[in-house]
Each structure stands twice: as structure tokens, then as C-alpha cells.
Amino acid sequence: MSLTFSCPILAGFETQKLAKSCAGGSVVAHGYDGMREDRTNGFSFTMKTPLLAVLALCLHGFSTPDVERPDAKRPNILLVIADDVGIEMLRPYGTGKGFAKTPTINSLAKRSVIFRNAWSSPVCSPTRACIQTGRFGFRTGVGMTVKNTVNFDGLQSSEVILPEMLDAGTDRTYQHALFGKWHLNHSSAKDKSGAPTGADVVRVQGYGHFEGIIHNIVAPDSYFDWPKVTNGVSSRSGQYATTATVDDFLAWRSTVKEPYFAVISFNAPHAPLHTPPSGLFSIDLSGSLSPKVNPRDYYKAMLEALDTELGRLLDGISSELDNTSIIFMGDNGTPGLIVSTDPNAIVPAGHEKGTVYQGGVNVPLMISGPTVEAAGSECSGLVHAVDIFATVADLAGVNLLDPTVFPANRKLDSISLVPYLKDSSLRSVRRVNFTEKFYENTRAGAQVDEEQLTRPPFCQQSVELTASSEGPTLSMCGQAMVERTNNTATIRITNAPPGARVFLLAGGNKPSPNPLYDNLVTLSPKPMAKLVTSTGKVNVKKAFTANAEGTFELAGIVHQVSNPTDYFLQAAVQDPITKRWAITNAVQVNQTINAKGIVSADGYKLVAQISGGPTELYFLPADPNELNDLLGGGVESLNASEREAYKGLRHELRMLLKSAERK
């Protein structure tokens, strides 16, 4: 017989996995990778196979939400996020040494399915965008940490996030709230992309209740003195932030009915490092001098304090735990400062938070609750932070194929993890896993050259608000300045007055009137005195001179691995006749980032710096710390299986990125 059949909650580039799983069936389909996508978060195909075989397929490894049982009691869902914690920091994963004491997390692991191969993004905001939307960063435009400046776009209001999905899919059955850190929008700065801003931005985005902080806690603020927002009302809190997050949740919980969905988004153990209040930690800090001298001990103390407060939270809802699904996860790997002071050197230097290496993206993820049938078991399947979206939907009984819940014309990358909770030994539903980091957070920045994984020399311009479309223009030409690589570029100024005086302004991104140049706004009011070039340091306090065509070039601007500091380059140009000044656009010189990581289910991993820099290939089963780059000797050095894996991952990456959209 022939049968047209649909399976939901699958990312578009995962569809071939199901086709290959259909033993004895022939797939009649068209589109990417041999499958015709009926819905971008699901698919349809025609099979000539018995009905029972098709049903068995979707029961084994794929699930549909239980939307046919209106009398079923919907579970409470608690999503707990620890900030900056890689798997090597937690005892249940057993990959490190000298663990902090985390009895709550350890106990939770025994009641959970532990995901061994869970990936995040390399830094905070992109992971949180993935969690909230079920979509990769190149779709949402969030590829780097959102900062409170106009250079970093926030999450667009057009994205459907978790509470909105629950409202639509359960007819507002769920009470929902977020406590702690948001970090997906600006609290004050105007967002040039049009994303919402302001103190009440979390509720504008869709949460019914918010108490916490919009961004990170950044000095001079501290965990003991920080800017708190409660449903749009700003204040200063003197309560320890980790404790406040739990107190606020418990107070809210006492006022709402079940079922509820709550995000407990701890700031800890993210910097600033400090000594938590007594009674929350056990590690002896008496001989640790200060966080600057011994940061690892303070980090562990903060992690212990998180664990203690998480235990208090669970005690506070002990009567409802039997009907509560708890998702515990990290948002990215452990910071370099903590990794570099590890006496056991579990994570290699340069492979920590901020990178697409395992130390930056392999994070703890464990799920407990009434759906778990194999508590304490491990799952080796490839999973991603985007999968939280579909998992929450599945747990709540939401049908993501319903166009009133999720737009039918929008890509969804999320795959429900509920089947793994029933059988953790299932083979990986994902054929590949993906992670990325790009700079800046713009939709244009999210798009990449799909024809090659490393780009040849090119020119780029990063136009800031201070630039004039008709005045002198600055560009950086050559291999892009890429994080963790040694390379050079040429700075070129065009359309300047003939013979103009040119001052290069290298420094930070702080737009303000500059008295040296008729009070025109520059990004670097106090520019650096010298630039490093391939021929030595150049004094940029002295004027350069444009030629008769109004052009000036400075070749060999150097970025070195040993000098990872971000800086912007801009120019002040003075007309030799009128003496008037003009300010060019600005270019970011050091860390232009567009890094992608992709891994196959058999363990081959490709690391690609798409904006320039090296492409690397690793085989994780034999080289889990990514110390042996198989491409180090060139493609010709690869054996047959390595070459096939390399070609396959390049193809997978290109096909995935070709599905990028600007909706």
C-alpha cells in the first residue's frame, strides 16, 4: 500500500535520517537531501510499506505530543540554567577531577536521563536564543553576546518563544515566568534592528512574570548589589543574586496554580567571582587569597552556592515533584580563566567558553520527571540547546504542526528529546550537530559565503552611526581578522579630499564628540598611540597624507594570537583647503568572528572559521580533546574514511546554511 504520513518536531536538515531509517520502504520525495519538506518543522513523505512499519518507525525514536488526552494532567516544567558550566565541572559526567560539592545536582542526575553529547552555542546569548525559539542563531540573528550598545542586536519580537508557544498550544493553561538572567535584549540602548528594549522587555517578549537582571552582573555591580527588574520596575537589590533568584521563584510559585512553566536562570557561577554568603558553600577559601590569585576556588564556591539554593528550591516544591519535569543545563562551556587554572588540565588551552571546540559547547543537560523511564541512564545521541523548545512542547502536549502555535512558513530546528526519556539507548535522531558564533548580531552578519568554508582575501566595511555615505570611506582588505589566528590586512581610505591629512583612530567603541575634530562624533575619543603592522609599530598620532586621488593605504595591519583585544579603526580626515574635518565609518580590526562547528553521529567534527582562518577536522572518539587536527597536513593527508567524513560535513554545513532565512 502507499501511505502519506507526517512526523513532527524535526529540523529540516534532519529529515534524511528518518528516510534512511525506514527499512523496506521507498521514499518518494523531493527537496533538500532527498526529502520534500511539507512543513519546515516537520515533513511528509510517501512510502510503499506496511502501515505497522510506519507506525513503529515514529514510535521508535520520534514522538508526537499527547494532544488527544484532554483529561491528562499536564506536568509542571522547570528549566534550570547554570551560567558558564562545562561538563568537566560536574561529578555526574565524570570527565574532570576536584569537583565542587554539588549534592543536589548529583541527586538530580540519578533521577534523570543524562545527555552526554549536548551542545550549546559558545557564549551566552546565542544559546538562550536557541532555547527560547528552537532556532539556530543564523535564523534569529543572535550570534554573539548581546550587550547594552547599538552594536549588538537583540532577539526580535517576531520570534515565537517558549511562553508564547505554551499559551497558543494549551489555551493559556500554563502560568509562566522567568527568574534571574535574560540577556537577550537591551535594557536601555536603542536597538538598531528594531528588537524590543527596556526594563519590561522580558514580558514584552512573552513571559507573564519576570524578576531578575536583563544583562550580566558587571562591575562595579556585584552579586550583592545589582540592578534588579521586577515586571518592568527597576530597583537596586542588596540580596545575594543566587538566593534572590530562588526566593523570587518560590514567592511567585505560592501565588499561581499548576501547571506552570518557569525558567530559573542563575547568574552563577559566571563572573564576577566572589565569596558567597556563609552556609551556601563548603570549599575552604581561607587560603585562596583573592579571585584574581585563585579564581578556580571561588568559581567552585559559587557553583556550590548554586547547588545549595537549587536544593532549597526543590525542597520548596517537594509536594509537586512527582508531576514536575526538570531540565537542568549549562549555557556554554567553562571560562578560560577557570580552565587555565585547572591543575588537571581537562580542557585544553584555547578550547574553553567562547570557542566552538568541545570545551566551549559540550554542556551538561539532564532531564528528570514523570516521563523518564530509565532514571540515571545516559544518552549518547546528538542533542542541542534548540531541542529544549520542542521538548517543552512535547511535555506540555503542544502540537507544533498546528499553524496557530508555530508559523507554518518558519524554520524550526528543534527536535523533542522525550523519546530519549523513554529509551535513552535510542540511536541519535540527529545525523549531525551544529554550533556557531558570529559577530555582530545582525541578520547580514549571520549570512555566510556558502560556496567555501574559508574565504579568500576580501574587503569589508562595518559602517557605524558616525559614518557619512558621501564622505571618506574606510575599508579593511585582506584576510579577515579572525580570533586565534595570525593574519594581516590592508586599511584603505578612499573618497578623501586630495592631499588630505589623515589621522587613524584605533580604540574602543564609545561614540562621543571629539574636540580634536570639530566635536564630530568618533568611536575612539582616546585612541591608541600605535598600531602593530608586519613591518613594526606605526605611530598613529602623526598625520598621514592622502594622495592626489584622495586615497590612502596602510598595509600589514597585524592581528596575533597573543593579542586578542578587540578594537575599532576609524579615520579623521581634514580637507587641506577648507580645514574642515570628516569622520569615516569604522571597521572592527581584531576579532571578526564567524565560526561554525559541526559533528557527525560517528564522531567526526569539522571546525570552520568561515570569515577567514583555519578549517580543522577531528575524530572525537579517539581524540576527545581535539588535539590532533586531521587536516593539519592538508586534505591529501586524509585517509579514505577521513576524506569522506570531511566532504560529508562540508556538504552538511553548506546545506544547513543555505536554509538561512530573514523572516
Model pLDDT for residues 320-339, shown as the tens digit of each residue: 999 999 999 999 999 999 99
Residue of 17, 111, 43 lying closest to 381 (CA atoms) = 17
Region 195-217: mean pLDDT is: 96
User: Pseudo-torsion of CA 331, 336, 338, 343, nearest 10°?
Assistant: 130
pLDDT of 63 strictly over 50: no
Lowest mean pLDDT among 245-249, 481-485, 638-642: 481-485
Tell me the C-alpha to C-alpha distance, in Å, between residue 37 and each of 28, 48, 343, 656.
12, 18, 50, 14
Cα(284)–Cα(397) distance, rounded to whole angstroms? 46
Cα(378)–Cα(208) distance, rounded to whole angstroms? 34
Per-residue model confidence (pLDDT) at position 266: 98
> Mean pLDDT, the chain, as a whole number?
82
Q: Name the residue with higher pLDDT: 310 or 139.
A: 310
Per-residue model confidence (pLDDT) at position 191: 82
Is 306 within 8 Å of 266 (Cβ atoms)?
Answer: yes
Lowest mean pLDDT among 101-105, 106-110, 337-341: 337-341
Confidence band for 560, pLDDT divided at 50, 70 and 90? low
pLDDT of 132 strictly over 90: yes
Per-residue model confidence (pLDDT) at position 10: 38
Is 169 within 8 Å of 399 (Cβ atoms)?
Answer: yes
Is 335 within 8 Å of 86 (Cβ atoms)?
Answer: no
Please report where in the chains the cell 551556601 appears, as a residue: 280
Q: How many CB atoms lie within 10 A of CB 456?
A: 9
Per-residue model confidence (pLDDT) at position 93: 96
* pTM of the full structure: 0.76
* Residues 210-222: tens digit of each pLDDT: 999 999 999 899 9
pLDDT of 139 strictly over 70: yes
Per-residue model confidence (pLDDT) at position 309: 98
Tell me the C-alpha to C-alpha distance, in Å, between residue 343 and each of 222, 338, 339, 551.
28, 10, 9, 53
DSSP helix/strand/coil, 169: helix
Q: Name the residue with higher pLDDT: 309 or 138.
A: 309
User: Pseudo-torsion of CA 224, 225, 226, 230, nearest 10°?
Assistant: 90
Q: How many CB atoms lie within 10 A of CB 182?
A: 26
* Residues 618-634: tens digit of each pLDDT: 999 999 999 999 998 88
pLDDT above 90 covers a percentage of the chain that reads 59
pLDDT of 396 strictly over 50: yes
Region 302-316: mean pLDDT is: 98
